[in-house]
Amino acid sequence: MEFILRVILSFVIGGGYVSGIIWLSEKLGSRIGGALAGVPNTILVSLVFINITEGPQSTKVATAIVPVMLAATLFYGWVFVKMSSLSKHSRYLLVSAVATIAWLGTSAALRESLSKTNFAYIIILGLAGILLFQYLFHKYTVVVPKKRILPGTVYMARFLVSGAVIASAVLVARYSGPLWGGVVSSFPATVVTALYFLSKSQGSEFVKSFVKRLPLAVISSLLFVIVLHQTLTRLPTITSFLLGMSCSLIYTFVLLSIKRPQNN
């Protein structure tokens, strides 16, 4: 019963958070929405539940694979953009499905090949992947969001779908074991739902603008995971999580504070 309440909580908080990111992107632009998408929301919720049910050691094991999974999240964004450009009939649900399958295949391969790899090496691989996608996405131009008035049912649908995706990720992470839990907790639920709904409301060019922000944004989650992995069995659990989230939020604040040219 207690676990069900936690899943419901992840549904409500996750759905509200993702809906908020989409709304901010539509109102204030991709710079803010993209930066907030990098904050470890699904990862945080999943790892908290793993820690409560399995303990700090299992949580530490789960974090070990996450740095490269952040690169897999960017791979999802790349596949989504490429498939969107090939789709002439705005079949964004099909595009999302193809990108998700690509993410699953990549994640499974990474999990199997890196399950016994040193954490420092995984961090290096994750950073290399982030830098690669920063290079690939850098050419995308910044697009100003279209001014549209949407009915309340659209916002409710976004909330329900986003919450369901995140709650599903938490459920799978609970029953898949610690290492697979780390993989599933890194499922890009925020990016999946944000790209789908932004495609429908703003179009594929704005999605490129949103994706352009993601490589630097996911470093926020990388910092959280590194701090958590290094401190979880050395400090009180709540201290480790608070320290990790503090580093993540400080980085995101600095990222949003940096003034950049409009076309960057």
Would you list the domain boundaries of the chain? 2-257
Q: Is the pLDDT assigned to residue 264 strictly greater than 60?
A: no
* Nearby residues of 102 by Cβ (< 8 Å), 6 or more positions away: 75, 76, 79
Nearest to 184 by CA among 98, 82, 101, 65: 65
Tell me, what's the pLDDT at 78?
Answer: 92
Which pLDDT value is given to residue 43? Answer: 79
* Tokens encoding 128: 């290399």
**Between 243 and 192, whose confidence is greater?**
243
Q: Which residue type occupies 99?
A: A
Calpha distance 83→170 (Å, rounded): 27
Greater pLDDT, 152 or 5: 5
Residues 6+ apart with CB under 8 A from 112: none
Cβ contacts of residue 113 below 8 Å, gap of 6+? Answer: none
Residue with tokens 């399950």: 115
At residue 127 the predicted structure's pLDDT band, cuts being 50, 70 and 90, is very high
SS3 state of residue 65: coil
| pLDDT tens-digit map of 71-121 | 999 999 999 988 887 766 667 788 888 998 999 899 888 888 887 788 899
Q: What is the pTM of this model?
A: 0.81
Average pLDDT for residues 183-201, to the nearest whole number? 76
